[in-house]
Structure 1
Amino acid sequence: MQSWFMNGRYMLTRDGHYLVASSYRALLQNGGKLECHDLIWGKLLQPKHRFILWLVAQKKLLTKDRMLGMGIVCDSANCVLCDKDELEDHTHLFVQCEWARAVWRDIEQWMGEQIPQQDTMGTLKYIKRRHWCKMKREVIAAIHGSLIYFTWQARNWKIFRGISVHTDRVIQQIQSVLRERIGMFIGSKEAGKCIGFLEKLCY
């Protein structure tokens, strides 16, 4: 940071004035935006869903494998949703777990689209590459983000409240949330490009 100020002049701007934004960018150096950030922070996801999706895309949730890596003692390192002898990590919890897979199969039927089973970033990349209109990509990314959020919530309820959440309840929650969010934009020009798809989800 000492190199930013030389000979009485601030070097990150032409006129020598200090700008927080310039300093922030310099501190970041070459750090770019997270890939598929536009889908993660899309308008159709609720803010709390965006945040959890952002963490999962970077594999930063405090799953049991990460807790063990930090030296945090767990009663059991196994997944509590499928009750199998499987270590709870991001890949298992959101891709391989039978509980999460059961939810995703029903959600795919509701959407009328099949999305390959892969980690969250792989799923977002797949959605981004599809030749769908922007609104359809955002809707399907929001559905995926809601699945991530409610899976994490169900996991936490099982661990901390002793409550087992049935997959049917999660499916209903995802559908309810997405219908409400879609309803906010259904009259937009962008929505008109995939109105048949949106109406299928909403009615």
Structure 2
Amino acid sequence: MVGRLVNWVAVNKESLWVKWVNANYPMGRDWQENAATSNSSCVWRRNYRVKQVLAAGYTQGIWQVQPSGYTPAGCYEWLRGTRPKVEWSNVVWDNWIMPKHRFMGWLFAHNSLHTNSTLLSFGMDVDGLCILYGLADETQQHLFFACAYSRRVLQSLTECTGLKLPEVDILHWCVHNPGLKTQRGVKNALVMSTLYQVWQQMNKCRHEQVLMRPMCVAQMISEDMKKRIKERDKSRMTTHELDWLGGLKFI
């Protein structure tokens, strides 16, 4: 955002603030070569520091990064550099998914959930075994797909919804799962809601020593999905999508 002020000075934008700058801080030479003096205000010195960071984006006082002109978003992308888009991006950030479930999915995609195995690797004094069943190390893969409790949740969810979720590589399945836009959205939301609710149960088991029955968890996930479907604008859906929604067991 400060870069926008730098750009205004660089192009001598017609504005009261730029006129004030020119009156109080005479450039005397090219703005790109100018330097703040020792008696300049802290705000003006900050502008110069930002100018130095962005200097490579200018040629003869013109911002070359964006032909249409400077924008903070474009400058941010330029400073950040080009990064490949991960294949799971459209799954995790699907607008069918509740915001708290999206964040959960983002952590899952980065393998950043603090399972017992992760805490153990941090040097914390914890038992590395799965807190839900205690038969194997509590990794993400085990907790959500191999643990007997999670598998029962998935089985109960299939009974409640009629939609079968995979027991491994769940993000890969979502990415390559064919179907109409609404079908993909519902399945993505179902997956993220399942991850969220299983994680919640693990935390309750750890901190409160309580654990719901798998069928009850599956019903909570189904209720989440009912709410999401009711909130959606049906006028934008095709007849095929509406027919598919009407055929779901939990609607």
Q: Please give the range of the TM-score, normalised by the shorter of the 2 chains.
A: 0.7 to 0.9
1:3 aligns with 2:22: no
Of the candidates 173, 176, 182, which is equivalent to residue 223 of structure 2? 176
Of the candidates 188, 192, 204, which is equivalent to residue 157 of structure 1? 204
Residue 74 (structure 2) aligns with: 22
Q: How many Å apart are 1:195 and its aligned residue?
A: 2.7
Counterpart residue type for residue 139 of structure 1: V
Counterpart residue type for residue 155 of structure 2: R
Q: How many Å apart are 1:77 and its aligned residue?
A: 1.1
Alpha-carbon distance in 2 for matches of 1:157, 1:74: 19
Asked whether the 8 Å contact 1:44–1:181 carries over to 2, the reply is yes
The 3-state SS of whatever aligns with 2:105 is helix
State, as a whole percentage, how many aligned pairs show the same letter. 24
Q: How many Å apart are 1:74 and its aligned residue?
A: 3.6
1:125 aligns with 2:178: no
Counterpart residue type for residue 98 of structure 2: Q
1:76 aligns with 2:76: no
In structure 2, stretches of 5+ residues that fail to align are 1-52
Counterpart residue type for residue 129 of structure 2: N
Q: How many Å apart are 1:5 and its aligned residue?
A: 4.2
Q: Provide the aligned C-alpha RMSD in A.
A: 2.3
Q: Deviations over 1:133-191 (max 9, x none)?
A: 11011101111110000011111111112212221221111011101111122733426
The 3-state SS of whatever aligns with 2:176 is helix
Alpha-carbon distance in 1 for matches of 2:80, 2:197: 33
In structure 1, stretches of 5+ residues that fail to align are none
**Structure with max Cα Rg:** 2
Stretch deviating more after TM superposition (146-155 or 94-103)? 94-103
Alpha-carbon distance in 1 for matches of 2:232, 2:240: 12
Residue 237 (structure 2) aligns with: 190
Asked whether the 8 Å contact 1:179–1:201 carries over to 2, the reply is no
Asked whether the 8 Å contact 1:44–1:178 carries over to 2, the reply is no
Stretch deviating more after TM superposition (164-173 or 26-35)? 26-35
Residue 58 (structure 1) aligns with: 110
Alpha-carbon distance in 2 for matches of 1:74, 1:108: 37
Q: Deviations over 1:70-100 (max 9, x none)?
A: 33x142111111222x111111111211111
Asked whether the 8 Å contact 1:63–1:88 carries over to 2, the reply is yes
Asked whether the 8 Å contact 2:157–2:215 carries over to 1, the reply is no
1:134 aligns with 2:184: no
Asked whether the 8 Å contact 2:96–2:189 carries over to 1, the reply is yes
TM-score by length of 2: 0.70
Residue 66 (structure 2) aligns with: 13
Alpha-carbon distance in 1 for matches of 2:184, 2:70: 40
Residue 29 (structure 2) aligns with: none
Asked whether the 8 Å contact 1:185–1:191 carries over to 2, the reply is no
TM-score by length of 1: 0.84
